[in-house]
Amino acid sequence: MKEKSGVETQYRLDQYLQLALGISRKEAGKAIRNRWVNVNDVLVTQRDFKVTEQDKIEVDDEVITYSSKKRYFMLHKPKGYVSSHRHDGHISLFRLLDENEDVETLHIAGRLDADTTGMVLITDDGQWSHRIMRPGHNNDEESDVAKTYEIKLARPMTDEMISQLEAGVELRGDELLTKPAIVERLEDHSEKMIRLTITEGRYHQVKRMLAAVGNHVEDLHRMQIGHLTLDGLAEGEYRALTDEEVEGF
């Protein structure tokens, strides 16, 4: 079994070969017994010999590697890119990542519509993305991850519309009211610019919420998820998250 020692994870040699080569534990044992495996340039014949991801492991003189380290990125999505690997008519936003990122293994923690801009989090850690996107995951509204959007509306925002969003609105086809949202007016003479913070991630949620109060979203931009802001990241650019940023969720 895998066990933690300090910061480095230790593996049995047969388990490491299994993970790195996608073979069975039995096949890994055979490779070790057949004296094909070197660890740090020394022949090893014990299946339970302990190794870490930092060791140099060779099978039949070929170096093999395995990394359990998960990957986390923040991307500033421009308009026109779709939040999926396939791109029916539009370009996938994964095309904005470097070719070497092994994009097929990555997924998006909270999609944006093709015409929405702003922050997208990308990872290969399913538990982490679930924590961020799952609506109401521990029945405590305060602890859900907040997402903040800047919105340009088709019509001026009335006080009545704001009160409705703050109280929760009924979305067509959904049983539950939306959770209370935070609405701020932005400096704009037309009164058509707002900032909206929600703690759920329902399908087309922002556009449906504004439609439910009799308005219409013209432009939508996600500026913040939880403690993360785009902070200087230009449209079309992405960067890896720091350990601290990842652990903040």
Cα–Cα distances in Å, from 131 out to 127, 210, 229, 246, 249? 6, 26, 18, 11, 7
Tell me: does residue 220 bind ligand URA (CB under 6 A): yes
Tell me: does residue 206 bind ligand URA (CB under 6 A): yes
Q: How many residues lie near ligand URA (CB under 6 A)?
A: 8
Instruction: Report the residue number, 131 or 207, with the smaller CB distance to ligand URA.
Output: 207
Binding pattern to ligand URA, positions 32-71, x when CB under 6 A? ----------------------------------------
Catalytic site includes residue 113: yes
Distance CA 215, CA 202 (A): 18
Report the residue from 36, 71, 204, 246 that binds ligand URA according to the rule CB under 6 A. 204
Which residues, other chains included, contact 213 with Cβ-Cβ below 8 Å and sequence gap of 6+? 160, 161, 164, 165, 169
Tokens of 84: 């999926």
Phi, psi of 213 (to 5 degrees): -100, 10
Catalytic residue among 55, 113, 174, 219: 113
Cα–Cα distances in Å, from 12 out to 17, 29, 36, 65, 224? 9, 11, 16, 14, 42
- The secondary element (H helix, E strand) that includes residue 51 is strand 50-52
- Among the listed ranges 46-54, 88-96, 183-191, 200-208, the one in contact with ligand URA (CB under 6 A) is 200-208
Instruction: Report the residue number, 185 or 204, with the smaller CB distance to ligand URA.
Output: 204
- Among the listed ranges 8-16, 108-116, 151-159, 160-168, the one in contact with ligand URA (CB under 6 A) is 108-116
Instruction: Report the residue number, 4 or 86, with the smaller CB distance to ligand URA.
Output: 86
Distance CA 153, CA 114 (A): 17
Distance CA 216, CA 208 (A): 9
Strands 62-64 and 57-59: antiparallel
- Among the listed ranges 109-117, 128-136, 181-189, 227-235, the one in contact with ligand URA (CB under 6 A) is 109-117
Report the residue from 90, 207, 226, 245 that binds ligand URA according to the rule CB under 6 A. 207
SS3 string, 53-67, reads CCCCEEECCEEECCC
Instruction: Report the residue number, 47 or 77, with the smaller CB distance to ligand URA.
Output: 77
- Among the listed ranges 70-78, 110-118, 129-137, 236-244, the one in contact with ligand URA (CB under 6 A) is 110-118
Binding pattern to ligand URA, positions 153-192, x when CB under 6 A? ----------------------------------------
Residue 96: alpha-carbon gap to chain centroid? 15
Instruction: Catalogue the active-site residues.
Output: 113
Binding-site ranges for ligand URA (CB under 6 A): 112-113, 116, 204-207, 220
